[in-house]
Amino acid sequence: MRVSRGAGASYWVLLFVAVALASLLTYSAVTAMQTGTAPSASGSQQALIGALESQNAQLQKELSAKSPQANGSIVSLDPVKIYQQDSASVVTVQGVQASGFSNSTVLGSGFVTNITGSQYVVTNYHVVQGVTDLTVTFHDGDAYPATVVGSDGYSDLAVLSLVAPASEFHPLQVVSSSQLVVGEPVVAIGNPFGLSGSMTFGIVSQLGRTISESLAGSFAIANVVQFSAPINPGNSGGPLLDANGDVVGITTAVVASSQGVGFAIPSDTILKEFPALVTTGGYPLHPFMGITSVDMDYQLAQLQGANVTYGVLIQNLTQGGPAAKAGLIAGSRTVQVQGVSYSIGGDIIVSVNGTKIVNTDALSSYLAEYATAGQTVVLQIIRDGHPMTVDLLLGTRPPAPSA
């Protein structure tokens, strides 16, 4: 294709002007920030300027600082650095599981931590459930026999102990997951399909999810982190890391036939349960209300004659359970909505201790994060269209499955 000389000259003039304008804008932003003549930039703005001005040593130091940082950005994420500092802490968990007349090999992931001052490996309960000949393989290929010192099927957590040289242990820092926000970048390191030391990254897609796993029986695993980093079989038990390379969760599940949807047990659950797991072998303080429920919506509100379209509608009560003792009322009339049966007429839970409850996920996540068995909570409910409060003494769940 031929291009006229005049057109080519115009192209280079326009290009020069664009580059000059971009440089001027960048210089002005940095100068303003350094001299204090403009309002202080947000974390994401600082990260963007840092990417544009790589020679700004002070800004680079702030972005790579190890101090806790709640709201990272994709620009501030350094996957290479995170992998270099954390990959040696990720291990392969392997064992043998009886299956009919034959045995099968189970592979999963785990990571080293020293939350209580001693070295342990944290993994998922479903990785070690019913497994014999358990071993842990470190990043250098050295493998050692391991034993389960504590597990909790309700949270899909297990803690392993093993005897190995001190040089094998590279503990990760476990920080609170309470500061996670949707959109924050996260990194997962694990062993999908036995491919050790594999790394993926994405963002936090949502918080406060609940997932159902057979090992937890009729109870949902609550307050789960949903994220977009691709994970596969074998990733289970590996760490979910923030932009600082600190543990904010433990990868636990992926939805079959989906892409970009993974789940992790939040690190707050690990921090809360860890002392009990290593000292008593389990976690006996999961709260129990003794109800089954469904999410309120517009159609159910119309059928019930309620003035709220959010909250948790009680379907059934456990006989003699905490909710029944507190005087809560279950539904008494069955209706059909789009082919699904519901029991209406019961109480609608709309808040717990002043925290708004939008749906069943929110109720389960609140109890998982803030409540324990033996604690009294204040429920605000709607009964026959009228608000009222009820004090409820939380009970204890039946013992969880153990490894």
391 is annotated as an active-site residue: no
Q: What are phi and psi of 140, to 5 degrees?
A: -85, 5
Q: Write out the two tokens for 249.
A: 């969760």
CA distance 118 to 309: 49
In single-letter form, the type of residue at position 273 comes to E
CA distance 337 to 229: 36
In single-letter form, the type of residue at position 123 comes to T
Choose the catalytic residue: 73, 86, 109, 126.
126
Choose the catalytic residue: 86, 152, 156, 268.
156
| R_g of the chain, CA atoms, integer Å | 26
236 is annotated as an active-site residue: yes
CA distance 194 to 178: 31
Q: Which of 59, 152, 125, 135 is CA-nearest to residue 93?
A: 135
Q: Which of 205, 203, 198 is CA-nearest to residue 231?
A: 198
H or E, element range at 335: strand 333-337
Choose the catalytic residue: 228, 236, 351, 365.
236
214: DSSP letter: G
H or E, element range at 277: helix 267-280
Provide the annotated active-site residues: 126, 156, 236
